[in-house]
Structure 1
Amino acid sequence: MSQFDVTVIGSGPGGYVAAIRCAQLGFKTAIIEKYSTLGGTCLNVGCIPSKALLASSHHYEELQHFADHGIEVSGKVKVNLAKMIERKQQVVDQTCGGIKFLMDKNKITVFEGVGSFVDATHINVAKNDGTSEVLESKYTIIATGSKPSSLPFIAVDKERIITSTEALKMTEVPKHLVIIGGGVIGIELGQVYLRLGAQVSVVEYLDRIIPGMDAGLSKELTKVLKKQGMKFYTSHKVKEVTRKGKAVTVKADDAKGNELVLEGDYCLVAVGRRPYTDGLNAEAAGVKITERGQVEVNDHLQTTAANIYAIGDVVRGAMLAHKAEEEGVMVAEYLAGQRPHIDYNLIPGVVYTWPEVAGVGKTEEQLKEAGIAYKAGSFPFKALGRARASADLDGFVKVLADAKTDEILGMHMIGARCADLIAEAVVAMEFRASAEDLARMSHAHPTFAEAIKEAALAATDNRALHV
């Protein structure tokens, strides 16, 4: 029987990072992955492949406007979807191969198969080759991630009624893609196929898209995507999805009971994700699963079994790859006797559309609900020289600061490169910077980052210089 100090079940960003940090700290470490490639949802059918398709479709869209830059392209520009999907897979394969290299480098034993608890210190691995093996492990970290959710009355056939997994390997550009769900996944994949020529309609139960982010970002992204041709039906409750041949019909009611009927050739169900604990046999180890399907954990991410921990999408909190990574590191260091911590308020959220959307800290809605006195300053990207030079004029940066202390409580932005710019906000808030601190920092000119300085100036006595 193989024996390990730590065994990680699941090789997504949380799992493989946890394994690496455990190995760095001197633990004899194993990782169990049910699929033949490492990396979990994020690397295989989530973050990485979707960003590859977003990048490729963005290049195609930009090509339509090359003439504005004095670049003339002769002949008709065509989309080769098969080649685009092939490139996406190459990116995925290279990235997953990199994880395999890291496992070897850190002397982490990899088991391909399904891991299930025999008891709190023993895990059975039903290997992909048909054999099985029982491992003994002093500690175990559950990092089994999540799977796409659906609605109980929708029959996902993975052909015309699909999830994000199938949307990443389409063989044709849809004529009309109907998306159920206006969250990050639906909006990102919707923009991919909108750029490639599809008609895209988004049906959202709530009154706005990306509802978890600041309302100002939602409003601006809706405006921009409408301008690009995407159609939105917010405050609509889907009640029926049917397929006949290549046609899919989606029926929904608005708040007043009026029926909406949309007919498309594909329907993407993007109503969120659910924790994945199937086959884990958690009860055999004394690990409690909540009514929401999550693994119950305490502040140290310790489960109801003292030697078993859980991280990432399978526990409470935002389902974000970087949140899972931080949790993986925290558990590893906690097991080594260190005192790590995570400030969940400082985990940024990002939407990788173009313009990109990002936010960290409290939203205006949250501050109002909590009765916290705050001041806000915003600055539009269109006022930046760099934005005009690159023709990326949409969006703004908003800084929210405490009305008395000036400490930054939240920062929210939509525009070019916001996925990268949000890191400045995280650093500032980690060190409890004030809006005045950011306003006094020199930002290189011309850059998109100048919008952060200007928004901070706007939040401090309305001192923005370029509006």
Structure 2
Amino acid sequence: MPEHDLVVIGAGPGGYVAAIRAAQLGMNVACIEEANALGGTCLRIGCIPSKALLEASELYKMAQHHLSEYGVTVGDVKLDLPAMMKRKDTVVTGLTNGIAGLFRKNKITRYTGRGRIVAPGKVAVEGAQPVEITAKKIIIATGSRSAPLKGVEVDGTMIGTSTEALSFPEVPKHLVVIGAGVIGLELGCVWARLGAKVTVLEYLDRILPGMDTEIATEAQKILQKQGLEFRLGMRVTGARVKGAGCVVECDGQPPIECDRVLLAVGRLPNTDDIGLEKLNVARNQRGFITIDPHSFETSIPGIYAIGDCIPGPMLAHKAEEEGVACAEGIAGKYCHVNYDAIPGVVYTDPEIASVGKTEEQLKDSGIPYRKGLFPFIANGRAKAIGRTEGRVKILAHAETDRVLGVHIIGAHAGDLIAEAVAAIEFGASSEDIARTSHAHPTLAEAIKEAAYAVDGRTIHM
């Protein structure tokens, strides 16, 4: 029976990073992954392929409608969807192969199959080559899956999840997206840019639940101008294939006929059928594994859990932070993740990025704050590149001036938010940001100006 110091179940962003860090710390590490390719949902059928399609579809839209504004004249622009899909798959394959190379470099033993914990310190690998392995420690990093919705009959073709929406064989004439969260908006934008009519149905009275309301409201206005149709306050009661298309039913509304349906109402942890029931590993009502927040250890000593299968934002980089922290904790080092400094990004156009508290959260908590806003239309670089939509919003404590939250909608917001994350991580004030020199002309100057605005002394507006 093979023996290891640590076995990681799952090779997604949390799992493979935990395995690599543990190996760097001198442990004999194994990683069990059911899929043939490493990288988990994010790399194979999530973050990476969706970003490849977002970039490709944005270039197509630019070539079709906007290059002439820059003095670039092109001929008849045509969509080659198979080539676009092939490039996406090539990007994914290159990265999954890269992780396999990192496993070899760090001498991590890879097992292909489904990992099931049969006892503390013992894991069975179920697959083409079944084997039982022993380990002093076990990390569960099994990720998540798309959540179902009662009445929606997912067939994996006409009615599907994000997995299917990444590989449509043709552009739908009419795509209905159920759910106005990150996944629904990103993939809705992809297909809208490529020519589909996109209707987004959302149960709540707003898009992007959990994000700062002011920023989400502006995002909705911009996306509506781009052609997305939003129907808010809609309770979807059913969706089914009808003939060559689909029909979606909403409470109190006429049925909606369409070509395809994307179900994007959230995700659930993959914690079933991996041995937790037999061991009585504690989980909450939604199936998330309960852990000690200071060590990531479950209710069973020696078994840990990270990533989407524990409570918290279901983000790849959050899982990576937990993977590193958990491995270091197991090695006897400091184990900590600052959840107040975990950014979130929506890769629409413009991008939307956020870190820290929203204005609503501060109001609900009774925390006194000051707000600084600066629009990109007043930023020189934004004007030069023709990307003036959006703004930067900084929320700082009214008494200490410590930065509590930063929210950005605008070009490259996902890159710009890194400065705000560092500011929150190091306990910076808005004055610290305002006094930090920002190169000119850059989009980042909008962050400096928003910091000035907290104190009512914006320069360029």
Fold match, TM over 0.5?
A: yes
Q: Distance in 2 between matches of 1:358 and 1:260?
A: 35
> Is the 1:114–1:279 Cα contact (8 Å) retained in structure 2?
no
Q: Distance in 2 between matches of 1:61 and 1:229?
A: 12
Report the Cα offset of residue 285 of structure 1: 3.5
Instruction: Kindly indicate whether residue 281 of structure 2 is the aligned counterpart of residue 280 of structure 1.
Output: no
Kindly provide the amino acid, as one letter, of the partner of residue 195 in structure 1.
R
What secondary structure, in the 3-state scheme, does the structure 1 residue paired with 2:372 have?
A: strand
Alignment of 1:244-255 (within 5 A): 244-253=242-251
The match for 1:368 among 359, 363, 368 is 363
Report the Cα offset of residue 192 of structure 1: 0.2
Instruction: Kindly indicate whether residue 235 of structure 2 is the aligned counterpart of residue 214 of structure 1.
Output: no
Report the Cα offset of residue 242 of structure 1: 2.3
Q: Distance in 2 between matches of 1:263 and 1:450?
A: 46
Instruction: Kindly indicate whether residue 75 of structure 2 is the aligned counterpart of residue 80 of structure 1.
Output: no
Q: Distance in 2 between matches of 1:246 and 1:382?
A: 46
Kindly provide the amino acid, as one letter, of the partner of residue 94 in structure 1.
G
Instruction: Kindly indicate whether residue 412 of structure 2 is the aligned counterpart of residue 417 of structure 1.
Output: yes
Report the Cα offset of residue 260 of structure 1: 4.3
> Is the 2:150–2:238 Cα contact (8 Å) retained in structure 1?
no
What secondary structure, in the 3-state scheme, does the structure 2 residue paired with 1:236 have?
A: coil
Over aligned residues, Cα RMSD in angstroms?
Answer: 0.9
Instruction: Tell me which residue corresponds to 1:446.
Output: 441
Which 5+ residue runs of structure 1 have no aligned equivalent? none
Instruction: Kindly indicate whether residue 107 of structure 2 is the aligned counterpart of residue 107 of structure 1.
Output: yes
Q: Distance in 1 between matches of 2:160 and 2:87?
A: 22
> Is the 1:150–1:271 Cα contact (8 Å) retained in structure 2?
yes
Q: Distance in 2 between matches of 1:283 and 1:73?
A: 61
Which has the higher mean CA deviation after the structures are superposed, 270-279 or 360-369? 270-279
Q: Distance in 2 between matches of 1:109 and 1:43?
A: 20
Instruction: Tell me which residue corresponds to 1:399.
Output: 394
> Is the 2:50–2:166 Cα contact (8 Å) retained in structure 1?
yes
Give TM-score scaled by structure 1 length.
Answer: 0.97
Which 5+ residue runs of structure 2 have no aligned equivalent? none
Instruction: Tell me which residue corresponds to 2:72.
Output: 71
> Is the 1:120–1:286 Cα contact (8 Å) retained in structure 2?
no
Report the Cα offset of residue 417 of structure 1: 0.5
Instruction: Tell me which residue corresponds to 2:168.
Output: 170
Give TM-score scaled by structure 2 length.
Answer: 0.98
The match for 2:341 among 321, 338, 346 is 346
Q: Residue 221 and residue 260 in structure 1: after superposition, are their counterparts in 2 closer, same or farther (change >3 A)?
A: farther
Instruction: Tell me which residue corresponds to 2:125.
Output: 125
Instruction: Tell me which residue corresponds to 1:330.
Output: 325
Instruction: Tell me which residue corresponds to 2:12.
Output: 12
Instruction: Tell me which residue corresponds to 1:192.
Output: 190
Report the Cα offset of residue 284 of structure 1: 3.2
> Is the 1:250–1:263 Cα contact (8 Å) retained in structure 2?
yes
> Is the 1:142–1:311 Cα contact (8 Å) retained in structure 2?
yes
Q: Distance in 2 between matches of 1:409 and 1:118?
A: 44
Report the Cα offset of residue 207 of structure 1: 1.1
Instruction: Tell me which residue corresponds to 2:227.
Output: 229
What secondary structure, in the 3-state scheme, does the structure 1 residue paired with 2:255 have?
A: strand
Q: In the TM superposition, what whole-angstrom CA distance separates every residue of 1:163-215 from its partner, at most 9, and x where no partner exists? A: 00000111000100000000000000000000000000000011111111100
Q: In the TM superposition, what whole-angstrom CA distance separates every residue of 1:78-122 from its partner, at most 9, and x where no partner exists? A: 111111111100000000000000000000000000110111111
> Is the 2:449–2:458 Cα contact (8 Å) retained in structure 1?
yes
Instruction: Tell me which residue corresponds to 1:48.
Output: 48
What secondary structure, in the 3-state scheme, does the structure 2 residue paired with 1:211 have?
A: coil
Alignment of 1:79-98 (within 5 A): 79-98=79-98
Q: In the TM superposition, what whole-angstrom CA distance separates every residue of 1:48-74 from its partner, at most 9, and x where no partner exists? A: 000000010011011121111111112
Kindly provide the amino acid, as one letter, of the partner of residue 263 in structure 1.
E
What secondary structure, in the 3-state scheme, does the structure 2 residue paired with 1:159 have?
A: coil
Report the Cα offset of residue 419 of structure 1: 0.3
Instruction: Tell me which residue corresponds to 2:375.
Output: 380
Q: Distance in 1 between matches of 2:141 and 2:451?
A: 39
Instruction: Tell me which residue corresponds to 2:264.
Output: 270
Q: Distance in 2 between matches of 1:453 and 1:59?
A: 30
> Is the 2:150–2:237 Cα contact (8 Å) retained in structure 1?
no
What secondary structure, in the 3-state scheme, does the structure 1 residue paired with 2:48 have?
A: helix
Runs of 4+ deviating beyond 4 Å: none
Aligned residue pairs: how many? 459
What secondary structure, in the 3-state scheme, does the structure 1 residue paired with 2:393 have?
A: strand
